[in-house]
Amino acid sequence: MTPVSLITHSVETTRALGGALAEILREGDLIILSGDLGAGKTALAQGIGAGLGVTEPMLSPTFTVVREYIGRLPLQHLDVYRLGHMQEVLDLGIDEVLDNGVTIVEWGDAALDALGDERLEITISLLPEGADSDRLLVFQIFGEAWSSRSDDLQMLVGALQ
């Protein structure tokens, strides 16, 4: 699949995208969020959580390595930006983390080797020429688990365009 992209003009649309994405998620899915500081990775993760039916507020996992939530599927939200966080995740047992429900990793692009081949990667960037609340989201899928859902993904992104 060629990368699919979308520009959102508000945090609400980014959250709505996460909500739509939640509908196609399955047990064992890994989502890697990368992009600029403050781009909207946590906001997108919160949208995914809402779509999975998480009712608890989802806080940024910047200081806590792994935050766990209960939704239609268990949801684990990680941030491995800080040096040492990825090591802590490895010490916790990465396979156990990845096997349990849906895992979202902010800054996970720095640790792809440890995280595995089956994944959805979403890169969020600020647009220097755009408005303050414009964000470019680029979606790329890797592995069979995701290739079977590429049409779904293109449809849900297209619906928000």
Ligand X SMILES: Nc1ncnc2c1ncn2[C@@H]1O[C@H](COP(=O)(O)OP(=O)(O)OP(=O)(O)O)[C@@H](O)[C@H]1O
- Number of residues counted as binding ligand X (CB under 6 A): 16
Among 77, 119, 135, 149, binds ligand X (CB under 6 A): 135
Closest separation in Å from C-beta 20 to Mg ion: 20
Closest-CA residue to 36 (of 109, 129, 116)? 109
Asked whether position 123 contacts ligand X by CB under 6 A, the answer is: no
Give the relative orientation of helices 11-22 and 150-159 as an angle to the nearest 10 degrees.
150
Burial class (CB in 10 A: 0-12, 13-18, 19+), 57: exposed
* Dihedral, 37, 41, 46, 51 alpha carbons, nearest 10: 170
Least Å from the CB of residue 160 to ligand X: 11
CA-CA distance, 15 to 48, in Å (whole number)? 7
140 binds, among ligand X, Mg ion, none (CB under 5 to 8 A by kind): none
* Residue 121 interacts with ligand X (CB under 6 A): yes or no: no
| Partner from ligand X, Mg ion, none binding residue 10, C-beta < 5-8 Å depending on class | ligand X
- Contact mark string toward ligand X, 45..84, x via CB under 6 A: ---------------x-x----------------------
If we measure between CA atoms, which residue out of 102, 103, 94, 96 comes closest to residue 27?
102
42 binds ligand X (CB under 6 A): yes
- Report 56-115 residues binding Mg ion (CB under 5 A): 60, 106
Q: Which residues bind Mg ion (CB under 5 A)?
A: 41-42, 60, 106
Q: Which residues bind ligand X (CB under 6 A)?
A: 8, 10-11, 14, 37-43, 60, 62, 106, 133, 135
